[in-house]
């Protein structure tokens, strides 16, 4: 017998969509107020179910799982990742899920040689590797990858250096104002303020010969606090690996944009793949950057460009020159997604969860903590099933491969199953960096903001004993910027609530939300985390700094499990389209004001303002009809129709032609900015047209967005009619 089963002092009796009955030795909770989305008769049973689930996740299981997950490097495209996928499939099967591995064939390089030498004003070998520490045996593992950037082309370059701060568009404009050109030079930039693929793209557009990216101690090293192994921050030898694939154009396999990378898929040539970079790019550590920067001459940099190294930074070019050589082995390689399904009484609706399992090296935080939390969530759900509970909707838990190179596994699976997902998936719940510390954060489409707040009010924070919500709200009021590489999306507008961010890119929610229009959210705990994508993101770091007693791993599993139960068991799905419409109207107002400043008239802007107002009116009309439907007999065909329509509102915002120049991105209201990297831009076609002061493009963008809002308004009106139509079918759907 599984020893955890003895910790469930209850037995689930017959459970149906219409009636949930629990047999327990004593009442667990006193009568509480209802739960949004549940009839009064089902709310108490739901609370009982949630309380039992939250008793199951524990720290010991989480610690043991993370120890196994981090036992060897498991980078995408290697047998380490394949072995981990096989192990994960077995874990889900042991928890009662129907689990399988789905494989795709993707264009994926691995490095064979990465070489860097300072050749002027003196000769010195660089590309130094990360220093091992005797008390952390993992750091001696010879299987660890060298520092490299996935999707860098092979190349060999000898050239002078120009320092360009973070390598953003503003930074290049600043260099031009100083009379400094990067054409034909090797550009040195620091991590932070933008996705590394944006840095590569801008360097390429400015005709640089190559790009070096380093981690400055001002961003995530000794300026932030004590460095590893004394503290959690990045030591001087640590290297931030990472992809430079142009995911802002499209994520996933570069050779099969928009279609699944099955063995027989029609592929474009690498030369035609718009997401592939064209200049060599290499990550280096701070100590190698110091060797280069200390010899740079040229103008003294602006004050904001001065980093944390104990030297005065100069732009160059000057005495420093380097020789760079990168040899990459590009091949079709297999990746391995694990898809685990817990069938519900109604398989026409799915609640989908996901996390990736591939890591740059050991990946204790990114993504092992999220993988561990997913396993604890699955174990808790499996225990409920063994106790007699049956999910109402099917629960699909996914472990993606190839996220680090460019969201490969999730993108290919969504492209492979997009029609079924759009007809069945009611929500996608993502976790990636599950636990890096004690500070909760979340991002979500506006309709799902409140369910995250509601659930975190029900779960205790291990450190404070208060609710996670209270700790989250207090921390957000005093928050500082997150360390480089893990910056969260900008918060949505709130009224004294804990703020949720927006969904841009950078993790596996992207294909679900931006391509398929599935309502999505992303959750995790953050903290002082300076070893992102380095050798030192291992079990030792987590045990010493991130979550020593694994209490936050268990806590996040309780949060994920409770969100799943709320969405799985709901009589009426808890989408808040009034909040969504308010967000849309607020942003539409801000953008129309900006468009006026570049010369457009009220007549040009009227379609957007009118469509936003109509969406808000429709949302306000629909809300009371949905509340009334909650009180009626559940499990009817009417409820099923309403729920599927509610989930499909997000798809109304999709346009088949996608965004200008980026047809893969279908969502008209949200996308990562073309030069913003991970960060979401709202109404991106309009925002970028205004930035370019292109009046005709502004008009086209307004027409496209207004059409999307009109489609959503029609869908909400349809939902209102469905919710008000009397139903004689009260059989379970």
Active site residues: 403
Q: Could you tell me the two tokens for 258?
A: 């928009």
Q: How far apart are CA 539 and CA 179, in angstroms?
A: 48
Nearest partner of 141 among 727, 535, 520, 462, judged by Cα: 535
DSSP string across 670-723: EEE-TTTTTSEEESHHHHHHHHTT-HHHHHHHHHHHHHHHHHHHHHHHHHHHHH
Helices (H) and strands (E) in the chain, counts: 20, 18
β-pair partners for 676? none
Beta strands in 164-265 (DSSP E): 186-190, 210-214, 242-243
Residue 716 φ/ψ, nearest 5 degrees: -65, -40
Q: Is 567 exposed, middle or buried (0-12, 13-18, 19+ CB in 10 A)?
A: buried
Q: What is the DSSP secondary structure assignment for residue 152, as one 8-state letter?
A: P
User: How buried is 641 (Cβ within 10 angstroms: 0-12 exposed, 13-18 middle, 19+ buried)?
Assistant: middle
CB 453 within 8 A of CB 469: yes
- What string of DSSP letters covers 228-249? TTTSSBPPTT----EE---TTT
What span, in angstroms and rounded, lies between the C-alpha atoms of 715 and 722?
A: 10
Torsion of CA 473, 474, 475, 478, to 10 degrees: 120
How far, in Å, are 65, 113, 234 from residue 536 at the CA level?
A: 18, 22, 9
Closest CA to 612 of 644, 595, 590: 590
- DSSP secondary structure string, 23-60? E-SS--S------TTS-HHHHHHHHHHHHHHHTS--HH
**583 close to 653: Cβ distance less than 8 angstroms:** no
Reduce the DSSP state of residue 439 to 3 states and report it.
Answer: strand
Torsion over CA: 63, 65, 66, 70 (sign): positive
Q: What DSSP element (H or E) covers 422?
A: helix 408-424
Q: How buried is 46 (Cβ within 10 angstroms: 0-12 exposed, 13-18 middle, 19+ buried)?
A: buried
Straight-line distance from the first to the last Cα atom of the chain, in angstroms, rounded to the nearest whole number: 34
Q: Distance (Å, rounded) from C-alpha 510 to C-alpha 36?
A: 27
Collapse the DSSP code of 92 into the 3-class scheme (helix H, G, I; strand E, B; otherwise coil) and give the result.
helix
Collect all residues with Cβ–Cβ distance below 8 Å to 594 and sequence separation of at least 6.
690
């Amino acid at each position: 017998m599984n020893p955890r089963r003895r910790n469930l002092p209850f037995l689930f009796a017959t459970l149906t969509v219409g009636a949930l009955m629990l047999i327990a030795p004593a009442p667990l909770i006193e009568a509480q107020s209802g739960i949004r989305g549940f009839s009064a008769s089902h709310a108490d049973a739901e609370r009982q179910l949630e309380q039992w689930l939250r008793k199951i996740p524990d720290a010991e299981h989480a610690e043991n799982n993370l120890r196994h997950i981090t036992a060897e490097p498991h980078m995408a495209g290697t047998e380490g990742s394949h072995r981990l996928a096989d192990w994960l499939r077995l874990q889900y099967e042991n928890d009662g899920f129907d689990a399988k591995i789905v494989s795709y064939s993707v264009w994926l390089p691995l490095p064979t040689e990465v070489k860097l030498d300072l050749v002027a004003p003196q000769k010195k070998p660089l590309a130094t590797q990360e220093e091992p520490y005797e008390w952390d045996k993992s750091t001696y593992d010879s299987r660890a990858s060298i520092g490299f950037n996935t999707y860098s082309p092979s190349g060999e370059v000898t050239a002078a250096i120009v320092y360009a701060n973070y390598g953003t568009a503003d930074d290049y404009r600043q260099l031009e104002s100083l009379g400094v050109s990067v054409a034909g030079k090797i550009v040195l930039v620091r991590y932070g303020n933008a996705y590394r693929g944006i840095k590569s793209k801008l360097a390429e557009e400015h005709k640089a010969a190559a790009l070096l990216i380093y981690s400055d101690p001002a961003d995530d090293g000794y300026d932030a606090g004590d460095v590893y192994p004394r503290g959690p921050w990045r030591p001087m030898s640590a290297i931030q690996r990472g992809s430079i694939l142009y995911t802002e154009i499209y994520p996933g396999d570069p050779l099969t944009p928009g279609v699944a990378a099955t063995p027989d898929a029609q592929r474009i040539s690498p030369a035609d793949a718009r997401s592939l970079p064209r200049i060599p790019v290499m990550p280096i550590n701070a100590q190698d950057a110091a060797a280069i920067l200390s010899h740079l001459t040229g103008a003294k940099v602006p004050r904001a460009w001065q980093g944390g190294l104990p030297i005065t930074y100069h732009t160059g070019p000057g005495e420093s020159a380097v020789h760079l050589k990168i040899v990459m082995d590009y091949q079709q390689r297999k990746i391995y997604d694990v898809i685990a399904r817990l069938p519900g009484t109604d398989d026409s609706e799915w609640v989908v969860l996901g996390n990736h399992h591939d890591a740059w090296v050991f990946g204790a935080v990114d993504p092992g903590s999220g993988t561990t939390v997913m396993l604890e969530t699955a174990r808790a759900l499996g225990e409920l099933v063994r106790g007699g509970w049956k999910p109402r909707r099917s629960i699909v838990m996914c472990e993606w491969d190839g996220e680090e190179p460019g969201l490969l596994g999730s993108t290919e699976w969504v492209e492979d199953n997009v029609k079924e997902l759009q007809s069945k998936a009611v929500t996608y719940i993502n976790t990636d960096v599950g636990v890096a510390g004690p500070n909760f954060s979340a991002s979500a489409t506006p309709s799902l903001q409140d369910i995250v707040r509601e659930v975190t009010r029900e779960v205790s924070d291990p450190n404070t004993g208060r609710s996670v919500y209270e700790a989250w709200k207090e921390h957000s009021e005093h928050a500082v910027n997150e360390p480089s590489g893990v910056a969260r999306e900008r918060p949505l507008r709130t009224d004294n609530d804990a703020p949720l961010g927006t969904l841009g890119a950078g993790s596996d929610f992207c294909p679900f939300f931006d391509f398929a229009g599935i309502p999505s959210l992303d959750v995790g705990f953050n903290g002082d985390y300076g070893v992102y994508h380095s050798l030192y993101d291992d079990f030792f770091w987590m045990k010493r700094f991130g979550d020593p007693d694994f209490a936050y791993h268990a806590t996040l599993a309780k949060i994920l499990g409770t969100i799943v139960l709320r969405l799985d068991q709901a009589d009426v799905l808890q989408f808040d389209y009034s909040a969504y419409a308010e967000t849309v109207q607020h942003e539409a107002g801000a953008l129309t004001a900006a468009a006026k400043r570049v010369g457009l008239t009220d007549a040009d802007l009227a379609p957007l303002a009118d469509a936003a107002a109509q969406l808000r009116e429709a949302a306000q009309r629909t809300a009371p009809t949905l509340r009334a439907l909650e009180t009626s007999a559940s499990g009817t065909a009417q409820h099923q129709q309403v729920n599927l329509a509610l989930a499909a509102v997000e798809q109304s915002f999709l346009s088949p032609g996608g965004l200008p120049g980026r047809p893969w991105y279908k969502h008209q209201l949200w996308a990562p900015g073309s030069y913003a990297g991970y960060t979401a831009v709202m109404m991106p076609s309009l925002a970028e047209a205004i930035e370019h002061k292109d009046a005709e493009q502004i008009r086209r963008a307004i027409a496209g967005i207004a059409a999307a809002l009109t489609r959503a308004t029609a869908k909400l009106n349809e939902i209102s009619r469905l919710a008000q139509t009397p139903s004689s079918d009260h059989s379970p759907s």
